[in-house]
């Protein structure tokens, strides 16, 4: 299959998906809704299907926080309990209305998510897991404290049958309502998962550093996902309260949490529809005490270990793996290069470059002075190269500008606006886009990778995304046209649908540049873009950098390859031992005696300065204030 054919077939299959999927969803939902009235299911199965749907709701919440935001949480059982008890109390003591109960539960779920997420997410990892596990542990205590209202450990019995606007719903009515709510929630869930926000999650999961350099607030996004995760669980709780009319704390214990986790792992923690597979297997299998009895726990545990070790993507991931293997059978991978035969001279849309001012910047690490009163400027339409021997502070300076390090003294301004003191994602939002020494790309297609830079430039809220409101669809349309333009200008159009991680290094560096451009940058920071590239790749890269300059962008380039510096830079700034040695046009720098001395000879007497601070330190320090350590270097 030629590339053109494969693109056509990809387009066709996406069209099929966009028609078939909604139709299929409506058909299946309708079938389930009308099943009881068509006598397709008996009361027993109605109950089982409803329990699967409720479990699926809870599991989808876990998938949001664990699969998408990358934070393991056991809190679902607590949210489920909160929704159930809120509903029970409401129905027995205030007003019995399903719709109102669903709204109240949703609010309670969101609030609980925020309360446990705000402290827990600051550290993430097992701290968050512990906090959320603890929340589950507290359910019986809270129920006992409010014994009069919630029934204590004896349980809360006598919850009336559900009513909606005064009409009593029978078993079938409750069943239908549960299916409708589940079906609607999964549409919203799917809309969020398959969206620019969903892709933002996969970026921040794979590299928090990259995410914040693209203007995404790592903490904010994780908190949103985590809080939202409580919502479906609480909704499920409402139905559960009405289902049996009886609640007791031990229904929401740790074993339920673990069953939810097992269902998520089994179906696939990043899957949408896999949730139903996981929920159905757990509900009809081990959770069915009539069959499994005391073996349930062993089954949960074995599932966790076996699937966790053997099928990291769960059943859904496994199916996808097989499908992509079948699709690629015979086809060659990972040799895709950017097309050079076209040899387009890239022309970019005008960029609103801003003047960068670094004024008296100093930075210390412990007892080591990494930067001392560094002052220079870079203007729009100019490429400024930053050179200097190992450990001279170049990368440190880049990290100071992009906000991964805080300055100790001095300040950084862009277009007159002060950058220093802002967090890295705010600085990115102000128009500073960067590349990394080791290219950082997430597991996305080339097109989606470029589009991630537009996430924070063209905002659409989670609600707008889930409901596909006009602001979201407009943002997506603009994403498409701008990304297309950038891909064309950088010669990446032919590989637009390839996996970014499968590209060779040179193309990945161009991709990083393209991504930076899609962010409509006022300043582009390039950290050793040429290292590891061959001549031809360096040429292609230089063309793009020149095009950025012609378009009016401001470029700051850290580079060791002096030939490239000579070729590209309008001005060279030389650092040594954290101090600015000199600056000037490249020809002058190449013969500057002091520069030669710094590169080749001994250091001048009085300076005692830093060792080399490389990207590891960025990762280290950034992780410190981002909280989470899941940054990948690849």
Partner 1 sequence: MSSILEVTGLTSGYGDLTVVRDVSLSVAPATITAVLGRNGAGKTTTLKAIAGLLPVGSGEITFKGELITKVPAYRRRALGFGFVQENKRVFKRRSVEENLIMGLYGLGVKRREEEERLEEAYTRFPILKERRKLPAGFLSGGQQQMLAIAVSLLNHPSLLMLDEPSSGLAPSIVAEVMQTVQGLRDVDGLAVLLIEQAVDTTLAVADHVVLLDVGRVVHSGPADQPGLRKIVEAAYMAAPAA
Partner 2 sequence: MLVTLISGLSLGSIYSLVAVGYNLTMLTSLVANFAYAAFIVTGMYLTVFLYSLGLNFGLIFAILIAVGAIVALIEYLVAIRPIQGRGDHAELVTTVGITTVLQGLLYLGTASDAQAVPFFGSNSMIDMFGGGRTSPAELTLIAVAVVVALGAHFWATRTRTGLAALSQSEDRDAALILGVHPARMSFIMFVFSGALGFALAPFVGPVTFAIVSVASVLAIKGFVVLAIGGLGNQLGALMAGLALGIVEALVVRYADVAYQNIAVFGIFIAVLLFRPQGLFGVIRERAV
Where along the sequence are the contacts to partner 1 (CB under 8 A)?
Answer: 366-368, 389-391, 438, 504-505, 528, 531-532, 534-535, 560-563, 577, 590, 596, 599-605, 607-612, 634
Straight-line distance from the first to the last Cα atom of the chain, in angstroms, rounded to the nearest whole number: 30
- C-beta pairs of 317-325 under 8 Å, 24+ apart in sequence: 317/268, 317/270, 317/271, 317/274, 318/268
CB of 211 to partner 1, least distance (A): 21
Segment 115 to 174, residues that bind partner 2, using CB under 8 A: 119-120, 122-123, 125-127, 129-131, 133-135, 137-138, 141-142, 144-145
- Residue 471 contact among partner 2, partner 1, none, beta carbon within 5 to 8 Å by kind: none
Minimum CB separation of residue 265 from partner 2 in Å reads 6
Partner touching 301 among partner 1, partner 2, none, CB below 5 to 8 Å by kind: partner 2
Q: Which is nearer to partner 2, 207 or 420 (CB)?
A: 207
When asked if residue 423 is in the footprint of partner 2 (CB under 8 A), the reply is: no
Of 9-17, 196-204, 294-302, 494-502, the window that binds partner 2 (rule: CB under 8 A) is 294-302
**Cα–Cα distance for residue pair 628/620, rounded to 1 Å:** 10
Task: Please provide residue 577's backbone torsions phi and psi, each rounded to the nearest 5 degrees.
Answer: 50, 40
What minimum distance in Å lies between the beta carbon of 292 and partner 2?
10
Q: How far is the CB of 579 from partner 1 (least distance, A)?
A: 13
- Residue 391 Cβ vs partner 2, minimum distance, rounded to whole Å: 18
Indicate which of partner 1, partner 2, none lies near residue 155 (CB less than 5 to 8 Å, by partner kind): none
Choose from partner 1, partner 2, none: what does 332 bind? Cβ within 5-8 Å by kind.
none
Q: Which is nearer to partner 2, 171 or 623 (CB)?
A: 623
* Residue 186 three-state SS: helix
Question: Which is nearer to partner 2, 99 or 145 (by Cβ)?
Answer: 145
Nearer to partner 2, 135 or 192 (CB): 135
Sign of the Cα torsion 12, 514, 321, 64 reads: negative
Contact of residue 70 among partner 2, partner 1, none (CB under 5-8 Å per partner type): partner 2
- Look-up of token digits 């060792």: 611
Tokens for 8?
């056509």
Joined together, the tokens standing for residue 289 give 């005490």
Rounded alpha-carbon distances, angstroms, from residue 128 to 80, 117, 270, 388:
18, 7, 19, 43
Contact residue for partner 2 among 21, 43, 184, 305 (CB under 8 A):
305
E strands in 79-228: 156-157, 163-164, 167-168
296 binds partner 2 (CB under 8 A): yes
Q: Is 298 in the site for partner 2 (CB under 8 A)?
A: yes
Q: Is 57 in the site for partner 2 (CB under 8 A)?
A: no
Nearer to partner 1, 24 or 611 (CB): 611
Cα–Cα distance measured from residue 353 to residue 432, given in angstroms and rounded to the nearest whole number: 10
> How distant, in Å, are the alpha carbons of 169, 186, 187, 497 from that of 99?
12, 18, 19, 44
Residues 199-218 that bind partner 2 (CB under 8 A): none
- Contact with partner 2 (CB under 8 A): which of 158, 160, 170, 312? 312
Alpha carbon distance 579, 388 (integer Å): 10
Query: Site map for partner 2, 245-284, x if CB under 8 A?
Result: --------xx---x--x---x-------------------
Q: Which residues contact 223 (CB under 8 A, 6 or more apart)?
A: 114, 117, 118, 121
Q: Which is nearer to partner 2, 86 or 135 (CB)?
A: 135
The half-sphere exposure of 272 on its side-chain side, counting CA atoms within 13 A, is 16
Q: Which is nearer to partner 2, 254 or 284 (CB)?
A: 254
- With binding defined as CB under 8 A, does residue 634 bind partner 2? no
Residue 630 touches partner 2, criterion: CB under 8 A: yes
364: three-class secondary structure by DSSP:
strand
Nearest distance in Å: CB 130, partner 2? 4
> Nearer to partner 2 by C-beta: 34 or 146?
146
Whichever of 335 and 481 has its CB closer to partner 1, that residue is 335
Number of H helices, E strands in the chain: 26, 14
Taking the complex as a whole, the smallest distance from the CB of residue 133 to partner 2 amounts, in Å, to 5
| 612 near partner 2, rule: CB under 8 A | no
Instruction: Count the Cβ atoms, other than its own, within 10 Å of residue 349.
Output: 12
Closest CA to 205 of 317, 312, 124: 124
- Indicate the residue among 294 and 591 with the shorter CB distance to partner 2: 294
- With CA atoms as reference, report the closest residue to 236 among 51, 402, 381, 416: 51
Burial letters 474-483, b for 16+ CB under 10 A, else e: ebbeebeebb
Rounded to 5 degrees, φ, ψ at 62 are -60, -40
The one of partner 1, partner 2, none whose footprint includes residue 129, by CB under 5 to 8 A per kind, is: partner 2
| 513 CB-side CA count, 13 A | 34
**Cα Rg for the chain, rounded, in angstroms?**
28
Choosing among partner 2, partner 1, none, which partner's interface includes residue 368 (Cβ < 5 to 8 Å by kind)? partner 1
Q: Toward partner 1, which CB reaches closer, 37 or 591? A: 591
The Cα–Cα gap between 249 and 136 comes to 10
Q: What is the smallest separation between the CB atom of 126 and partner 1, expressed in angstroms? A: 22
Of 341 and 602, nearer to partner 1 (C-beta) is 602
> What does 536 interact with, of partner 1, partner 2, none (CB < 5 to 8 A by kind)?
none
CB of 383 to partner 2, least distance (A): 36
Phi, psi of 521 (to 5 degrees): -75, 150
Q: How far is the CB of 413 from partner 1 (least distance, A)?
A: 29
Q: Which does 596 bind (CB under 5 to 8 A by kind): partner 2, partner 1, none?
A: partner 1
Residue 265 neighbours by CB under 8 Å, 6+ apart: 278, 303, 304, 307, 308, 314
DSSP helix/strand/coil, 250: helix
Residue 372: C-alpha distances to residues 32, 359, 376, 421 (Å): 69, 11, 12, 18
CB-side neighbour CA atoms (13 Å) of 508:
22
Q: CB under 8 A: which stretch of 8-16, 52-60, 386-394, 618-626 binds partner 2? A: 618-626
Any idea how long the chain is?
A: 634
Of partner 1, partner 2, none, which one sits near residue 561, judging by CB under 5 to 8 A according to partner kind?
partner 1
CA distances from 409 to 378, 406, 420, 504 (A): 20, 9, 10, 40
How many Å apart are CA 401 and CA 618, to the nearest integer? 12
Residues touching partner 2: how many (CB under 8 A)?
48
Rule CB under 8 A: which residues touch partner 2? 66, 70, 72, 119-120, 122-123, 125-127, 129-131, 133-135, 137-138, 141-142, 144-145, 253-254, 258, 261, 265, 294-305, 308-309, 312, 620, 623-624, 629-630, 632
């Amino acid at each position: 299959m030629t590339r053109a054919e494969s693109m056509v077939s990809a387009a066709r299959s996406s069209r099929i998906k966009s028609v078939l999927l909604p139709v299929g969803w409506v058909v299946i939902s309708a079938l389930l809704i009308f099943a009881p009235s068509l006598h397709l299911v008996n009361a027993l199965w109605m109950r089982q299907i409803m329990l699967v749907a409720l479990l699926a709701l809870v599991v989808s919440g876990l998938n949001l926080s664990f699969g998408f935001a990358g934070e393991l949480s056991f809190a679902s059982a607590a949210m489920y309990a909160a929704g159930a008890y809120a509903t029970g109390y409401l129905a027995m003591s205030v007003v019995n209305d399903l719709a109102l109960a669903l709204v109240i539960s949703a609010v309670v779920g969101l609030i609980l998510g925020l309360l446990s997420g705000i402290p827990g997410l600051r550290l993430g990892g097992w701290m968050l897991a512990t906090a959320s596990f603890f929340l589950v542990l507290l359910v019986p205590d809270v129920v006992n404290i409010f014994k009069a209202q919630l029934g204590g450990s004896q349980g809360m019995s006598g919850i009336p049958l559900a009513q909606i606007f005064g009409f009593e719903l029978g078993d079938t009515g409750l069943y239908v309502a549960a299916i409708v709510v589940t079906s609607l929630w999964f549409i919203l869930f799917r809309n969020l998962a398959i969206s620019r926000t969903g892709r933002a999650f996969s970026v921040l999961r794979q590299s928090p550093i990259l995410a914040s350099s693209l203007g995404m607030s790592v903490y904010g996004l994780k908190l949103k996902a985590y809080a939202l995760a409580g919502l479906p669980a609480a909704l499920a709780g409402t139905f559960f309260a009405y289902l049996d009319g009886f609640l007791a704390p031990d229904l929401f214990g740790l074993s339920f949490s673990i069953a939810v986790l097992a269902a998520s792992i089994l179906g696939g923690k990043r899957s949408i529809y896999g949730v139903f597979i996981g929920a159905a297997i757990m509900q009809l299998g081990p959770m069915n005490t009539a069959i499994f009895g005391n073996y349930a726990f062993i089954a949960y545990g074995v599932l966790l270990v076996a699937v966790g070790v053997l099928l990291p993507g769960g059943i859904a991931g496994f199916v996808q793996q097989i499908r992509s293997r079948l699709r690629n059978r015979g086809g060659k991978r990972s040799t895709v290069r950017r097309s050079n035969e076209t040899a387009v001279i890239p022309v970019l849309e005008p960029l609103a470059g801003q003047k960068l001012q670094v004024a008296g910047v100093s930075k210390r690490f412990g007892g080591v002075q990494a930067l001392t009163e560094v002052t220079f400027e870079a203007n729009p339409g100019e490429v400024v190269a930053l050179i200097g021997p190992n450990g001279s502070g170049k990368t440190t300076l880049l990290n100071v500008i992009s906000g991964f390090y805080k300055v100790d003294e001095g300040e950084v301004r862009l277009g007159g606006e002060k950058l220093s003191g802002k967090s890295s994602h705010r600085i990115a939002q102000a128009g500073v886009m960067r590349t990394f020494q080791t290219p950082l790309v997430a597991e996305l297609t080339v097109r989606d990778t470029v589009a991630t830079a537009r996430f924070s430039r063209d905002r659409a809220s989670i609600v707008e995304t889930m409901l596909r409101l006009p602001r979201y669809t407009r943002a997506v349309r603009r994403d498409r046209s701008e990304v297309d333009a950038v891909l064309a200008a950088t010669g990446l159009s032919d590989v637009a649908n390839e996996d970014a991680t499968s590209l060779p290094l040179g193309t990945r560096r161009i991709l990083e540049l393209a991504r930076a451009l899609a962010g409509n940058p006022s300043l582009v920071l390039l950290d050793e873009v040429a290292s590891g590239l061959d001549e031809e790749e360096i040429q292609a890269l230089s063309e793009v950098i020149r095009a950025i300059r012609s378009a009016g962008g401001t470029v700051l380039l850290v580079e060791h390859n002096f030939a490239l510096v000579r070729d590209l830079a309008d001005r060279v700034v030389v650092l040594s031992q954290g101090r600015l040695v000199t600056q000037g046009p490249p020809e002058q720098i190449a013969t500057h005696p002091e520069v030669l001395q710094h590169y080749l000879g001994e250091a001048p007497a009085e300076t005692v300065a830093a060792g080399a601070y490389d990207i590891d330190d960025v990762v280290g320090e950034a992780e410190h204030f981002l909280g989470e350590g899941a940054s990948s270097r690849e």
